[in-house]
Amino acid sequence: MAGLSAGLRIRISRTVQLDRRQAADRAVRANLRERVRNALARLPIGPEQWERTHEPIIANNLERLVLLAQAAATGPPGAALDVGVGYGYSAAAVRAARPGEELWCLEHPSRDVRFTPAWRNMLAVCDCRAILADAGALPFRSGGCFLLSARRS
């Protein structure tokens, strides 16, 4: 950089730093995408699901779940809550983004899915604790969770 003005050297230096940071961010996102894909591939498929393999689950859900995982990864440490856990897609994405963090999964007690072995296996795969309750009566104090995930059917 000999012969360049000080201002130009600073701009080049900042550009290189930004390029490195952007490259690092892309690598983290790619790694997170792969972790979410792998988490979805480990979920059990129950007999009541229309999908018979993991390919349609991944194809139909990966993009939105990567966004959820990115949001989960950027937050402060703390518990996360997945409301309406269903087959565990969102819980798998949150777990991929926050390994080792506390994860609670709420399902309404009237849902038959909670009686299936696949649902219990999903809880184990996602390493989450189940709550059977109506979401309107959540047993958490204000500020008890950093991330709350819910999907409207």
State pLDDT tens for residues 48-57. Answer: 888 899 999 9
Q: 103 pairs with which residues across the strands?
A: 80
**Whole-number percent of the chain with pLDDT over 70:** 70
Q: What average pLDDT does the segment 66-84 reach?
A: 88
- How many H helices and E strands in the chain? 4, 4
CA–CA distance, 69 with 53 (Å, rounded to integer): 22
Which residues make Cβ contacts (< 8 Å) with residue 1, sequence separation at least 6? 9, 12
SS3 labels along 43-89: CCCCCCCCCCCHHHHHHHHHHHHHHHHHHHHHCCCCCEEEECCCCCH
| Residue 107, H or E segment | strand 103-107
Look at residue 30 and tell me whether its pLDDT is greater than 90: no
Look at residue 147 and tell me whether its pLDDT is greater than 80: no
Comparing 107 with 42, which gets the higher pLDDT?
42
Q: What average pLDDT does the segment 26-45 reach?
A: 87
